[in-house]
Amino acid sequence: METKEILSNEIGFSMPRIGDKAPEFTAVTTQGEINFPSDYKGNWVILFSHPADFTPVCTSEFMTFAHLEEKFNKANCKLVGLSVDGLYSHIAWLRTIKDKIKFNGMKDIEVKFPLIEDITMNVAKKYGMIQPGEHKTQAVRAVFFIDPESTVRAIIYYPLSLGRNFDEIYRALIAMQTSDKFNVATPADWEPGKDVIISPAGSCGMAEERMTNADDLDCEDWFFCTKKLDKDLVLKEVLKS
């Protein structure tokens, strides 16, 4: 029995892996019913969960996501939130955020992306967002990056007490899009404009060629070669005009 099946049987939830198709569901949200991921095919999606409405860390995160929504949209990425609270709680909480809450220089923030009602925890269990060691009835701060073909490309999990780093979420999105567009990898702390990594040589001859004749490469050794990738070109390719 595979590890994924063992987790599903023993703990009561499944967890999609990188490379899996995003689990399908239909859900009521603050923006109407959605069929996921089919409604978002052709777009990147960040599906993220939070523990509960009317909690301070979650409030700070939703304000930040809403503030950055246009930036994510320009990168062909839609935002979809989830918690195990009900629709009317969601609506009341989002109204409170807009009418009363100030954070980090932001105020009057209107959350326009859908927030899923998941009282039954059906969606949270499909995505392994309920971590019994952390809490039995609240979703941890999960982030799923789902590509235009509805494939899970990256997963980040945070404990209930830790607010997410949104610069890193955006950086990861742009890095994965850059890898797809230019067939490269991105090194530690990569940002647009920094050098990218090319795949290791697949033969001795290719390794020798890279080390001696590849003028566009900077090779520290046969397996570690980088090249420049213009920032403007990256942004032109991955951002909507």
Q: Are 67 and 106 within 8 A, CB to CB? A: yes
Element (H, E) at 48: strand 44-49
- Catalytic pick from 58, 77, 204, 219? 58
205 CB-near residues (< 8 Å, 6+ apart)? none
Contact 82, 125 (CB under 8 A): no
Amino acid at 239: L
Name the CA radius of gyration of the chain, rounded: 20
> Do the beta carbons of residue 115 and residue 59 sit within 8 Å?
no
> Is there a binding annotation on residue 141?
yes
What crossing angle do the helices spanning 166-182 and 231-238 adopt, rounded to 10°? 90
Is 58 considered catalytic here? yes
Element (H, E) at 75: none
Identify whether the C-beta of residue 82 lies closer than 8 Å to the C-beta of residue 48. Answer: yes
CA 148 to chain centre: 13
- Binding-site annotation, residues for substrate: 141
Sequence ranges of the binding site: 141
Annotated catalytic sites, by residue?
58
